[in-house]
Structure 1
């Protein structure tokens, strides 16, 4: 192990009270953050000094797995195997020390409680936190989890996602009214067919898609758009052609592994793309059409290029049927392209997933209209302020998250919690 990494691992082990542990193995992997950005993590596995010999791939009870961000030198994850900890007493707060746990999180992360993260409702021996600025959530969000065992010892800590500071926020008073929110929610209403596995049938349900509405009411932002930003582009282009291309397609193995070398982690002279520009879109679209002409030669006009997404060295294209039904589960294709050469490398056809529902009874003909369904759901529409990251402004801007956790049976008119479907 590189000298710098070795010092980092040892210092972290001391901080976590692992004096009676030894370093068994380590590796490095890459972790993505805001689109176009990534960090390298040093993952270390520490065994108790008196642990019994085990299979090389297994960790004994009480082993500690600690992931550290190499650049910031901050701990990202701590896991004690099988909820057993042999760390020195006093190294971590215990289950009954809520305030001490929050202070410990502030110290280990460098974040400030209330200004950058907030506590969510506690579940038994687990504490959940989410990213928030002045107690207003952010999106894409960050989460912190802390778990304790039955003896009250800390056995898990993890932090993932984004935790912006106040200077990354475009502050303004929340101005969305009920009338505005309801009109947007009504526009998001759709009639869908949902599979009910217990009854082996499709059910017609009206529901409203959750979206973000900017505080100035100028833009509705989908969750996909807010999460992916410049690395994601919605296209919705029907793919048509005159002739097939008689050129066999040979898939190339795709490497989505997150493993990295010490050299990559310590130098990180990455020149990979951070966003999709117009040239990327045009060349990728042409290659997708060429791919379809080779692999699905008889499907002209049957596929819609729905989106392009950048992931590491690949552009991933998502294609959906041009004539889409109401079913929430539909056939789709994912095509992987080289992000530099724009050549199709491999693909996934999710046709087999649809076959699972072939024997399901079709949905009954809807009785309710969209307006009638919305009247039943109106009181269940909720809006909460959320700061959503804007790529153009490089700031988090204030939006309202418009959400409805209920749907309406389009035949009976019964209001149903969506999590029960």
Structure 2
């Protein structure tokens, strides 16, 4: 074991009182943040000392799975499998909100109310979300702590961006629901909501959440909901001649091997590089060739929505050109070889959507779009959120337009979305 890794291993054992444990496995890996930063991490699996032989594919109860950032040396996660800990002592003498906040501030180097805020608290469990001066962030990081009945730490996780102030476009929040009413009306959609118990589609009017900037520009929720920087395309894919050769899948490598030398040198992850114009042209051609082979009779039926790098490949996300009113839409992921620009694997959610084939629609539409909006208008929510704009490479202050209620299109009743599940 490299002496630099050994130092981190020893520190983790001492910090979390793992005297009754032994290091079972460890590995180095790297990941890319939405800001394009490459993070190198050390993952360790500590087995309880009384478990000397283990041949299962999963970790035994009480295993301590610990991940640490090699650069900051901050712990990203500490998880005791099954909520069982054999560790000596506990890092907290008194488990209360103030004590937890103080520990989180020291551990992550951020200030409560400025960089994170509480979103949920219950006995022995605390959930926090990333924020900028108290305003939520999207995509937003999460922080969580859990303790067992004896007050021992059994779960700790902190996955956040913590952007520098230079990346935040400061401005005063000036949006009101009255000002965004035109956008709100556009976001009110008639959709078919599946009710599994009844095997029916319930037609409802609901708000498709969206982000709105102070100047009225909109950012679709789907575009910023992931953690990868995406290139937005929105291009219908056509081809004249289908490829009749059978498609052969190539296995996608889930985890790359990373060396300590790469980590020390902070070698950029291949996924951190932007997709160039030349690569974009080749990717679109590769998507066209792949689709003509996978779905030869569906020219013009697919829209290439986005491209982004993923685990050494380029991933293309596609949607149907003629979407239905159902809440779950057809989605296709194509994995493109980053050197050959050829589709080598794919994922299609059609099999999942086929489970709805037996569902029947409930009743006739009896409520108009305008009537539904009038009923929902008082339930609309517009809350400030800092949204990462990949084009500007800045966090921009927006209003998140959302609604937790819907209108049944058959009766006009206003219902809470959670009650439909």
Q: TM-score, normalised by structure 1?
A: 0.91
Q: CA deviation at 1:236?
A: 3.0
Q: Show the counterpart of 2:221.
A: 223
Q: Show the counterpart of 2:45.
A: 45
- For each residue in 1:165-193, what CA deviation from the matched residue of structure 2 results, as whole angstroms up to 9, or x when unmatched? 44542222211122113332212111111
- Asked if the contact 1:212/1:223 (under 8 Å) is kept, the reply is yes
- For each residue in 1:48-92, what CA deviation from the matched residue of structure 2 results, as whole angstroms up to 9, or x when unmatched? 44x243414455544322111112211111122333334333x41
- Asked if the contact 1:175/1:215 (under 8 Å) is kept, the reply is yes
1:388 paired with 2:387, answer yes
Distance 2:284 2:139 in 1: 28
Superposition pairs of residues 66-215 of structure 1, within 5 angstroms: 66-89=66-89, 91-94=90-93, 96-215=95-214
The SS at the match of 2:183 is: helix
Structure 2 unaligned regions, length at least 5 = none
The verdict on how the C-alpha distance between 1:141 and 1:332 changes in structure 2, with shifts beyond 3 A counting, is closer
Distance 1:183 1:303 in 2: 29
Q: CA deviation at 1:299?
A: 2.0
Distance 2:59 2:292 in 1: 50
Q: CA deviation at 1:229?
A: 8.5
Distance 2:410 2:241 in 1: 45
The verdict on how the C-alpha distance between 1:379 and 1:95 changes in structure 2, with shifts beyond 3 A counting, is farther
- Larger mean CA deviation between 120-129 and 329-338 belongs to 329-338
Q: Show the counterpart of 1:16.
A: 16
Q: Show the counterpart of 1:354.
A: 353
Q: Show the counterpart of 1:3.
A: 3
- Asked if the contact 2:237/2:299 (under 8 Å) is kept, the reply is yes
The SS at the match of 1:22 is: strand
Distance 1:185 1:416 in 2: 18
Q: Show the counterpart of 1:243.
A: 241
| Number of positions where the alignment pairs a residue of Structure 1 with one of Structure 2 | 418
The verdict on how the C-alpha distance between 1:137 and 1:247 changes in structure 2, with shifts beyond 3 A counting, is same
- Asked if the contact 1:229/1:390 (under 8 Å) is kept, the reply is no
The SS at the match of 2:360 is: coil
- Larger mean CA deviation between 141-150 and 295-304 belongs to 295-304
Q: Show the counterpart of 1:234.
A: 232
- For each residue in 1:236-261, what CA deviation from the matched residue of structure 2 results, as whole angstroms up to 9, or x when unmatched? 33322222234443221122336644
- Asked if the contact 2:95/2:124 (under 8 Å) is kept, the reply is no
- Asked if the contact 2:194/2:200 (under 8 Å) is kept, the reply is yes
- Asked if the contact 1:29/1:40 (under 8 Å) is kept, the reply is yes
- Asked if the contact 2:253/2:311 (under 8 Å) is kept, the reply is no
1:294 paired with 2:293, answer yes
The verdict on how the C-alpha distance between 1:45 and 1:179 changes in structure 2, with shifts beyond 3 A counting, is same
1:319 paired with 2:339, answer no
1:375 paired with 2:389, answer no
Structure 1 unaligned regions, length at least 5 = none
The SS at the match of 1:300 is: coil
- Asked if the contact 1:117/1:163 (under 8 Å) is kept, the reply is no
2:263 counterpart (248, 262, 265): 265
Distance 1:250 1:361 in 2: 37
The verdict on how the C-alpha distance between 1:238 and 1:172 changes in structure 2, with shifts beyond 3 A counting, is closer
The SS at the match of 1:235 is: strand
- Asked if the contact 1:116/1:163 (under 8 Å) is kept, the reply is yes
Distance 1:262 1:340 in 2: 26
The verdict on how the C-alpha distance between 1:296 and 1:45 changes in structure 2, with shifts beyond 3 A counting, is closer
Q: Show the counterpart of 2:303.
A: 304
The SS at the match of 1:41 is: strand
- For each residue in 1:268-309, what CA deviation from the matched residue of structure 2 results, as whole angstroms up to 9, or x when unmatched? 434625333433332211221122222322222332323323
